[in-house]
Structure formats: structure tokens, C-alpha cells
Amino acid sequence: MNWIAKRHAAGRANATAALIAVALFLAGCGINTIPTLEEQAKGSWSEVQSQYQRRADLIPNLVSTVKGYAQQERDVLNEVTQARAKATQIQVNADQLTDPDALRRFQEAQAQLSGALGRLIAISENYPDLKSNQNFLALQSQLEGTENRIAVARRDYISAVQNYNTEVRTFPGRLWAMVYNAEPMATFATPEENQRPPSVTF
């Protein structure tokens, strides 16, 4: 009887040791790498969205301030308002990060808003009173700071996605990607007009 009990205890100890060995092997071979990198990329995407939302929240005050000084610039003011509405309607949640078309639509809407904002800021040159208005200067400064934060958030997201995509496309991560059904994530693309070299004339 003692011999049988000892044998069962030894068997349980061996089974426990085998489970620990398998767990250590799986932990060491990257089973957690893909979910970890995916969460980092999703976290970076949340920061991108947060910064774009911050910019969108500044726009109504900026438009209102400009309208007080440059009401005749209705076309530009309407363009900014419409671009903001479109940009806030197009959202990409974390589950859509593997869809390049969704990210492209988001990027295009944000680029349209950036262009409209650039034109809005440019018209201030025609209105010295507006250019010196403290509210306008404060909003312009906040907008510039937000644009910098957007650039940093996009850079961090691109880096996180690059790490994730490298893992799901290379060995041994590719094997775990099949287990998780993980797909590469989409990232920001440089607009075609930015890829062409600028024409320089003297």
C-alpha cells in the first residue's frame, strides 16, 4: 500500500514538473509576445485618437474667434467646420487596425481637416487685429502644441505596429500568429504628394 501511494505521489510530482516545464517553455518561446505587442499598438492608437480629438475640440473656439474678425471669410470657416464634422465622424476602433482601408479613410479625413486649418490660420495674416487677439494667439499656440502631440503619437503608433507586424510575420511569432489568428496591422502612409520631390526654382 505504501509502495502504491509513493508511486502515485511520484506520478503527481512528475506531472506537476512536466506542466511547469511546458509553461516555462511556452513563456520562453514567445506565446505572450503577440498579445503584448498587440496591446501596445492598441494603446498607441488610443493616444493618436486622443490627440486628434483634442485638436477637434479646439476648432469651434478657433472658428468662433476668427468669425468675430473675419466674417467675410465664410468659405474658409465653412470648410473648416465641415472638415471637422467629417473627421469626427470617421472613427477607427482597435478592432479595425488590421483594415488598411479604414485607416486610410481616417487619415484622409484628418488630412482634409489639417488643410482647412492651415487655410484658416493663413487668413489671419490679412487681419492684423485678429493676429494680435490674445484669444486667437492662445488657441493658435494650443493648436500648434496639439499638432506636435499628434506627430509624436503617430510616430509611437507606427513604431508599435512595426514591432507587432515584425513579430507576426517572422519565425517563431508567425506560428503563434496562426494560433491567435493574428493579422498584420495597418499603419499611416505618407500622402503621395509628400513623396514627390519638391520643385526648386531659382
- Please tell me the total count of domains within the chain: 1
pLDDT score of 93 more than 70: yes
- Asked if residue 3 is part of any domain, the answer here is no
Dump pLDDT digits (tens) for 21-80. 555 455 455 688 999 999 999 999 999 999 999 999 999 999 999 999 998 899 999 999
Residue 168 lies in a domain: yes
pLDDT at residue 194 is higher than 80: no
Q: Quote the pLDDT of residue 199.
A: 44
CATH number for the domain harbouring residue 152: 1.20.1440.20
Question: For residue range 6-36, what is the model confidence (pLDDT) as tens digits?
Answer: 565 555 666 676 666 555 455 455 688 999 9
Tell me what pLDDT residue 18 has. 60
Q: What is the pLDDT of residue 54?
A: 96
The secondary structure of the chain, three-state, reads CHHHHHHHHHHHHHHHHHHHHHHHHHHHCCCCHHHHHHHHHHHHHHHHHHHHHHHHHHHHHHHHHHHHHCCCCHHHHHHHHHHHHHHHHCCCCHHHCCCHHHHHHHHHHHHHHHHHHHHHHHHHHHCHHHHCCHHHHHHHHHHHHHHHHHHHHHHHHHHHHHHHHHHHHCCCHHHHHHHHCCCCCCCCCCCHHHHCCCCCCC
More confident residue, 192 or 82: 82
pLDDT(140) > 70: yes
More confident residue, 27 or 160: 160
Calculate mean pLDDT across residues 127-131: 90
Taking the C-alpha atoms of residue 83 and residue 117, their distance in angstroms, rounded to an integer, is 9
Query: Is 202 within a domain?
Result: no
Per-residue confidence (pLDDT) for residue 202, from 0 to 100: 30
Residue 27 belongs to some domain of the structure? no
Task: Evaluate whether 59 touches 84 at the Cβ level (below 8 Å).
Answer: yes
| pLDDT the model gives residue 172 | 86
Mean pLDDT across the chain: 85
Q: Is residue 15 part of a domain?
A: no
Are the C-beta atoms of 84 and 127 separated by less than 8 Å?
Answer: no
Provide mean pLDDT across the span 179-184: 92
In a domain, 28, yes or no: no
Domain that holds residue 75: 36-190
* pLDDT higher than threshold 90 for residue 156: yes
Is residue 2 one of the residues assigned to a domain?
no
Query: Could you tell me what percent of the chain has a pLDDT over 70?
Result: 79
Least confident of 155-159, 180-184, 192-196: 192-196
Does residue 197 lie in a domain region? Answer: no
Work out the burial of residue 198: count CB atoms within 10 Å of its CB; fewer than 13 is exposed, 13-18 middle, 19 or more buried.
Answer: exposed
